[in-house]
């Protein structure tokens, strides 16, 4: 934590394969933007056993490659280049404000270029489920079961929790009748969803706590509990 005004790239894997893939992606994004990145995995993914195709091991960069590709890096030894001083603090408020403005500009660039999400059945959806991580896989089954009953539900899975797919949720919210946010917690993403759609449609939350994972039918039942009119279509 800190004094605020900062953002962290946050990747939310839903499978063991993504756990492996996002390590390289996280490092690439961190190096590209010179900002920390986080892999936010839930306990299910952390204890899951699945087949994984590991990416090829990358070669270690030479000093010359580091100097060319990362001119900002601190090498920790004498060099022919000028010194690099890395700090997060300037005592002069005016200089500190300039640093913060530069960071805010960087965050806007990240928000424009690094939003990642996955859609399932959203093209013709009357209702929307938003879920990230492992619960999104369960929600995909919910979409299939609801559609088998004649109710068109779509699923949006944010892959980056920041930058958040705000524009996509806002776009879908203009077409659907309601949104259910499904999480394995007390409701940590629902605020982001509500902000994205400006509460233009009803937004509800369903989650379980203590490590309990709802099965697809529980989520479907929760959906019809919040949107009983959908069951009458």
Starting at the edge strand found earlier in the chain, the sheet holding 160-162 runs 37-39, 9-11, 160-162
pLDDT given for residue 152 in this prediction: 96
| Strand duo 153-158 + 127-130: pairing | parallel
- Give 10-residue mean pLDDT values along the chain (233 residues): 82 96 96 94 90 91 83 74 77 91 95 98 97 96 95 98 98 97 96 94 96 93 95 67
Q: What is the pTM of this model?
A: 0.91
The span from the CA of 180 to the CA of 21, in Å, is: 28
Residue pair 143/118 in contact by the 8 Å Cβ criterion:
no
Per-domain residue ranges of the chain: 9-113, 117-232
The span from the CA of 169 to the CA of 77, in Å, is: 48
Residue range 117-232 forms a domain whose CATH class is alpha beta
């Amino acid at each position: 934590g800190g004094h605020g005004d900062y953002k962290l790239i946050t990747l939310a894997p839903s499978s063991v394969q993504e756990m492996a893939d996002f390590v390289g992606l996280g490092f690439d994004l961190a190096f590209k933007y010179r900002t920390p990145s986080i892999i936010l995995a839930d306990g299910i993914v952390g204890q899951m056993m699945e087949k994984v195709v590991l990416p090829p091991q990358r070669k270690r960069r030479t000093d010359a490659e580091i100097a060319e590709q990362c001119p900002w890096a601190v090498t920790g030894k004498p060099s022919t280049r000028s010194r690099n001083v890395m700090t997060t603090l300037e005592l002069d408020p005016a200089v500190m404000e300039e640093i913060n403005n530069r960071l805010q500009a960087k965050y806007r660039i990240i928000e424009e270029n690094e939003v990642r999400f996955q859609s399932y059945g959203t093209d013709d959806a009357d209702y929307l489920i938003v879920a990230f991580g492992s619960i999104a896989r369960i929600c995909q089954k919910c979409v299939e079961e609801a559609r088998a009953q004649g109710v068109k539900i779509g699923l949006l899975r944010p892959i980056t929790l920041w930058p958040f797919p705000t524009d996509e949720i806002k776009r879908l919210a203009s077409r659907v009748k309601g949104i259910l946010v499904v999480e394995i917690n007390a409701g940590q993403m629902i605020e982001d969803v509500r902000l994205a759609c400006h509460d233009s449609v009803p937004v509800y939350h369903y989650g379980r706590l203590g490590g309990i994972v709802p099965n697809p039918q529980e989520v479907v039942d929760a959906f019809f509990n919040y949107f009983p009119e959908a069951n009458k279509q």
